[in-house]
Homo-oligomer: A and B are copies of this chain.
Amino acid sequence: MASPDVVDNIREIARAARAAGQTYTQLPAEQRAGVLVAWAEALENAEVRAKILDANTQDVSAARAALARGELDEARVRRLVLTPAKLDSLCDGLRQLAASPDLLARPDLMRDLDDGLELVRQPCPLGCLAIVFEARPDAVVQIAGLAFKTANGLLLKGGKEALASNRALTAVLHRVLREHAVPTAGIALLEQREEIAAMLSCDGDIDLVIARGSGAFVHYIQQNTAIPVMGHAEGLCHMYLHGSYDPEAAARMVVDAKCSYPAACNAIETLLWSPGAEQAVLASLAALRGQEVELRGCPETRELFAQVGVASEQDWSTEYGSFVLAVRRVDNLDAALAHISRFGSRHTEAIITTEATAAERFLAEVDAACVFHNASTRFADGYRFGLGAEVGISTGKLHARGPVGVEGLLTYRWLLRGRGHVSTDYGPGKRKFLHRTRTP
């Protein structure tokens, strides 16, 4: 429980953020886009960048010390690291976001219910967002970009291990806002651990909590607030090698899906294969061993390839987040679908096959946010999907699913303009509704 003083303080910050968000709504779309571009320019500036990377180095050194003491795990330290390439990605994302259509600018539905009775559905911000995230300072810029594009107020609460990085990034965002004479209260960085509990009790003043971090972390947030929470609690993704496929190409996809960023939620944890795919499996496992991935397999896989340890039943439901991969032979497509249905976290699932019917069945039947054919699971990402950055990847089915970008931060209001219209004039035997839909 947070103390009442802290809660009151957070409520005030949330109300100020919402009010600032309302002023963002008033800005012309070009001006909002201009701020996003200016953020990218600032983050490309060598001097600014050096400061940010310095701050990050402080955080990372402290985290490595904590890792040595066993207080932090390695995946978390990896997520903490900022690099010039990551900053470039963020800048790219901001520019993409600036160039993307402004969804607040116009109704997304216009319908004349009758002459002079005009209905529009008008997109609008949710109001005030709160993001709680572990490690990954990149989130500050990504989420601030999406929140500002959608004119939402934003409360940011990062992990204490990333505090210096988060402060450095927020300072850059605020400076640019001030240079554009835009209120900074719309982006508030919270720094105290107690403020999480306080934030979670602010229903009514916070409209959406975005939780980014480990499954346990997201689960804790979901259990402890009446505010809707967006966040994937788990990313247990599979790649399924079905039938013969060019071994080298298959191995490239498997290695990309496992090794390019094992701590990411869209990395695979289990490789499935069925008879006929042996050559692709052998090439993949050899390539994975070349990357020093620890392999844990079923007896059939161990028979096929010597350097595979023993997998227990628990491996099928483990999100390693590191250089470990479970490998299992299944009898056929049906068995692969059954395995995925049982163990998958409904995040991202991929089939690698040359058989179109198998691929289409996989695409049609797997119940997950993202379902891929002949592509790495690592493409499941708002930036790669062209959403301009992502708030997170949602494994829930309501509101937004998969990588969540701008649309997930908006709601809408139904506006009706009449000339004295009353409902009792309409109905069977009376006036009929026109329901003439116009293109917005």
Q: Residues of A with Cβ closer than 8 Å to B? A: 85, 88-89, 92, 96, 111, 113, 117, 119, 126-127, 207-208, 228, 246, 249-250, 252-253, 255-256, 260, 359, 363, 367-376, 378-381, 384-386, 396-399, 401-403, 411-424, 426-428, 433, 435, 437
Contacts and interface: CB of A to CB of B under 8 A. Distances in A.
A427 B253 contact: no
Given A401-B411, A415-B372, A252 B422 contact: yes
A413 B386 contact: no
A379 B411 contact: no
A228 B398 contact: yes
9 contacts: A92-B428, A208-B398, A246-B420, A256-B422, A370-B415, A372-B417, A374-B417, A375-B418, A401-B411
A228 B414 CA distance: 23
Contacts of A428: 85, 88-89, 92
A139 B339 CA distance: 38
A371 B417 CA distance: 9
A234 B193 CA distance: 35
Given A398-B228, A398-B398, A369 B420 contact: no
Nearest to A359: B417
A405 to B, nearest CB: 11
A387 to B, nearest CB: 9
Contact of A397 (B371, B380, B411, B419): B411
A256 B185 CA distance: 43
A416 B256 contact: no
A113 B381 CA distance: 12
B413 A368 contact: yes
Contact of A373 (B370, B397, B411, B417): B417
Given A126-B397, A370-B413, A401-B411, A384 B207 contact: no
B379 A421 contact: yes
A415 to B, nearest CB: 5
B414 A380 contact: yes
Contacts of A433: 384, 386
Contacts of A398: 126, 208, 228, 398-399, 411
Contacts of A424: 256, 260, 378
A358 B296 CA distance: 68
Contacts of A418: 372-375, 379
